[in-house]
Amino acid sequence: METHKFGKVLISGGAGFVGSNLVDRLLKDGHQVTVYDNFSTGSIKFLSNAKKYNKLITEEDSSYKLYIIEGDLLDTEKLTKSMQGCDFVFHLAANADVRHGTEHPDKDLKQNTIATYNVLEAMRINNIKKIAFSSTGSIYGEPKIFPTPENAEFPIQTSLYGASKLACEGLIEAYCEGFNFQAWIFRFVSILGEHYSHGHIKDFTQQLVNDPTKLNILGDGTQTKSYLHVKDCINGILCAVKNSNEKINIFNLGTDEVISVNDSIKIICNKLNVSPKLVYSGGTRGWTGDSPFILLDCSKIKRLGWKSTHTIENSIDETLNYLIKNKWLLESE
């Protein structure tokens, strides 16, 4: 954190999966953090470690180390006010429900595209120029090259989620050019680890806890993807913000490993010690717009010295431990 003195940081989606892990890390590193979250998918429980900083008053400026603001990114007034005095925004809040995009097509538009526009405008009004943004490997659609590099060919979107993240990236880049912002954009694979609360590892675990004899699987189980541990993800984000200083810094963030849905099921079943009947549905893909294969070329961020420290099996194992310890997550939708 030496080369980039963040100063005061605002984290949108700071009560979410990746966001709350980042909050913990930045507080530990000594930063002052404002969490801005509407708690729709985020949870105050994810901030239970962080909340102890809520009480700590620093000697220098007698201010709290952690502010938690319940607010929606569509509430521009609250958002703009919440950013006052901040120096850096980590914009992690998003509708991350890739799968159900076509059931409510306005959700990605509002919660991702328009929300990101609101973040950028609130930053502009507050004269904050630095933003880190969680994009997605889904933005490549169905790429022709694997592992897929950041400068892959002009992508064709296959999901409303991917389309909305592409729109966000474009907006952020235009603000860099037009308003002299600086941006770090991260195209994530799926993330696993503590505070994981959403995705097929949870769905499977939830199903198997309820009925260990049967497991419903969307698609034929051959969909093969890369996964990253949330701690490695946070390390990657901070490594890039520290060490890459272009106007626009775009990084893939994933592992060189992939795993098929079927192989992840084996790990889960072993861990839970169950042997369910596997029931496949929906053709070769999990859902419309699902990518059958995701593997990102992460050599760009590796050149900055970052590397992943967890195997996918590791990450799944830790995620299961976390879910089993936090049954409330398996009870929620």
Determine if residue 206 is left, alpha or beta; phi over 0 gives left, psi from -120 to 50 gives alpha, anything else beta.
alpha
**97 is an interface residue for its own copies by CB under 8 A:** no
Binding residues among 223-282 for its own copies as defined by CB under 8 A: 248, 250
Cα distances from 240 to residues 4, 32, 158, 181, in angstroms, run: 10, 20, 28, 16
**173 is an interface residue for its own copies by CB under 8 A:** yes
The residue among 101 and 219 lying less far from its own copies, judged by its C-beta, is 101
The residue among 32 and 159 lying less far from its own copies, judged by its C-beta, is 159
The residue among 112 and 205 lying less far from its own copies, judged by its C-beta, is 112
Among 178, 213, 277, 325, binds its own copies (CB under 8 A): 178
Calpha distance 7→99 (Å, rounded): 37
The residue among 44 and 248 lying less far from its own copies, judged by its C-beta, is 248
Three-class SS state of 148: strand
The DSSP string of 292-310 is: SEE-B--HHHHTTT-----
The distance of closest approach from Cβ of residue 108 to its own copies in the complex, given in angstroms and rounded to an integer, is 8
Say which residue the tokens 């034929």 belong to: 220
**219 is an interface residue for its own copies by CB under 8 A:** no
The residue among 141 and 236 lying less far from its own copies, judged by its C-beta, is 141
The distance of closest approach from Cβ of residue 103 to its own copies in the complex, given in angstroms and rounded to an integer, is 10
Q: Which amino acid is at 97?
A: D
Among 170, 266, 303, 321, binds its own copies (CB under 8 A): 170
CA-based nearest residue to 233, from 308, 136, 139, 322: 308
Among 29, 174, 210, 328, binds its own copies (CB under 8 A): 174
Calpha distance 207→265 (Å, rounded): 12
The residue among 16 and 162 lying less far from its own copies, judged by its C-beta, is 162
Among 50, 128, 167, 218, binds its own copies (CB under 8 A): 167
**Within a 13 Å sphere around the CA of 270, how many CA atoms are in the beta-carbon half?**
9
Tell me the window of 173-181, 217-225, 237-245, 293-301 that interacts with its own copies (CB under 8 A).
173-181
Q: Which residues of 209-219 are buried (b: 16+ CB within 10 A; e: fewer)?
A: eeeeeebebbb
CA-based nearest residue to 207, from 312, 258, 279: 279
How many residues make contact with its own copies (CB under 8 A)?
Answer: 41
Among 164, 182, 223, 235, binds its own copies (CB under 8 A): 164
Binding residues among 184-203 for its own copies as defined by CB under 8 A: none
Calpha distance 69→120 (Å, rounded): 18
Q: Would you call 195 exposed, middle or buried from its count of C-beta atoms within 10 A (0-12, 13-18, 19+)?
A: buried
Binding residues among 99-158 for its own copies as defined by CB under 8 A: 101-102, 105-106, 109, 113-114, 117, 120-121, 124, 141, 150-158
CA-based nearest residue to 235, from 284, 298, 182: 298
Among 21, 32, 82, 159, binds its own copies (CB under 8 A): 159
Residues lying near its own copies in the complex (CB under 8 A): 101-102, 105-106, 109, 113-114, 117, 120-121, 124, 141, 150-160, 162-164, 166-167, 169-171, 173-175, 177-179, 248, 250, 288-289
